[in-house]
Structure 1
Amino acid sequence: MSLLSLSGVTRSVDLPDAPPLHILRGVDLEVSVGDHVSIVGRSGSGKSTLLNLLGLLDNPTEGEIRFDDKRISAMSGNERDRCRGRNVGFIFQQFNLLSGRTALENVMTPLLYASGQQFWRRKQLALDMLGRVGLDSRAQSMPEKLSGGEQQRVAIARALVRGPRLILADEPTGALDVETGATVMALLDEVAEASGAALITITHDVNVAALARRHYRLDQGVLAPVDVKRVLALQPGATP
């Protein structure tokens, strides 16, 4: 079942005294429930712009984006914000944890904007999610007392605590060493699969991209399928 679809999506920026800057060119992408897709691209390829569109933060210049078969362009700003808050979880390279707040308080933060049982049970839900990422014993620890891998796991718990249907991971291992990064990615994939969420990993690292089930390359605004595992086999450590 399709969860998110992009059809003929472009994104351009008007420049003074110059032709428009075309950042994305005719992007087509279909993401199903429970899917794990990776998008690999170098700096300047349009990854951040695409992330904003996938996360319902922006509208395309042309083309159509649908979430649950509903056109995003037909939603009001408030409707899109509510859809994003309910359904999309973001994980970033920089953990963006709140200083002066415990791991538990950081994970509880998204639930402050929830309603009903999610709001009233926010502490227990946050504790349960910390347990799922193996950090229930560190619930009262401040971010600066946690290792990089632990901080990223807190960020994962925070992104997943509202039960999003789509998880967007933007360079999720960029601030971690190789071994810790591999552990974090395995955990992210495991938790996403257990919850039935779709996972889109956006990265420049071909090794991280290879962990997904479907792989794409973004180059000069054009998105196309790529055989990442073949690239790894031919040129270990290379970027497609």
Structure 2
Amino acid sequence: MTSLSPSETLVSLRAVTRSVTLPDAQHLHILRGIDLEVLSGDHTAIVGRSGCGKSTLLNLLGLLDVPTSGELEFLGQPAERLGSNARARLRGSTVGFVFQQFNLLPGRSALDNVITPLLYAKGREFWRRRELAMNMLDRVGLADRAHTMPNMLSGGEQQRVAIARALVRGPRLILADEPTGALDVETGQSVMALLDTVATETAAALVTITHDVNVAALARACYRLDSGVLGPMSLEEAGAPV
């Protein structure tokens, strides 16, 4: 794991664009000139309507994709100079993903689901995988549900298992894509409080991609993504419809 001071830049995007070529050879411009800096310890929310490019931006932040143009640096390394294998290794050790659909393995217990990322670890982390997974389940309040199958867990419990899985390797960057979208309001608030608490305790950066202004208002920095353009959003604006 890379050690960072709380104020050190984790991810930096400068004039980043992302476009794709359609079957008729036309270009679809998804992101346009994105400037964003994520520091270790930040809690950032990015708000926007469906189809505005939020998931594309998350894929760039998580090294699942590279920009069409512009500069993206992750831990000071230009993403375009990293091959797919190097990006996968960096992503696996540094980034934790939390999704709206919990994506738990249906035939595996909560414990086995949390262990999954550790199967790609090395050394002590690999050999201590069961202990580390149990500790993380305990941290999210589900130690007593470790051997329960996902279909026997509530929606909130499933999301907490997903959070434990995302955090078990101690990521420096937590990317949450509509993490409360499948939950009721009260459970969603509990899940966001848990994410914020763990991120704060570990000095990890938390970036929440959401259409829910109530979720965005929990962050310390808010941005609005509209038609591929990212701009600052005040906490007062977070109360306005998206």
TM-score, normalised to structure 2, is 0.95
* CA positional deviation for 1:15: 2.5
Aligned to 1:111: 118
Matched, 1:223 2:215: no
Q: How does 1:111-190 map to 2 (within 5 A)?
A: 111-190=118-197
- SS of 1:172's partner is coil
Cα deviation 1:134-185 (Å, max 9, x = unaligned)? 0001101110111100000000000000000000000000000000000000
Change (3 A) 1:210 1:231: closer
Indicate conservation of the 8 Å contact 1:93/1:175, yes or no.
Answer: yes
Matched, 1:207 2:214: yes
Matched, 1:55 2:55: no
Cα deviation 1:14-50 (Å, max 9, x = unaligned)? 2244531111000000000010000000011011111
Q: Percent identity?
A: 69
Aligned to 1:39: 46
Q: Which runs of 5+ in 1 are unaligned?
A: none
- SS of 2:113's partner is helix
Distance 2:161 2:121 in 1: 19
- SS of 2:57's partner is helix
Aligned to 2:78: 71
Cα deviation 1:93-118 (Å, max 9, x = unaligned)? 00000011000000000000000111
- SS of 1:194's partner is helix
Indicate conservation of the 8 Å contact 2:216/2:238, yes or no.
Answer: no
Distance 1:3 1:231 in 2: 25
- SS of 1:131's partner is helix
Number of residue pairs the alignment of both structures matches: 235
Distance 1:149 1:229 in 2: 29
Q: Which runs of 5+ in 2 are unaligned?
A: 1-7
- SS of 1:228's partner is coil
* CA positional deviation for 1:227: 1.1
* CA positional deviation for 1:13: 1.2
Counterpart of 1:11 (choices 14, 18, 43) is: 18
Change (3 A) 1:137 1:30: same
Distance 1:44 1:144 in 2: 30
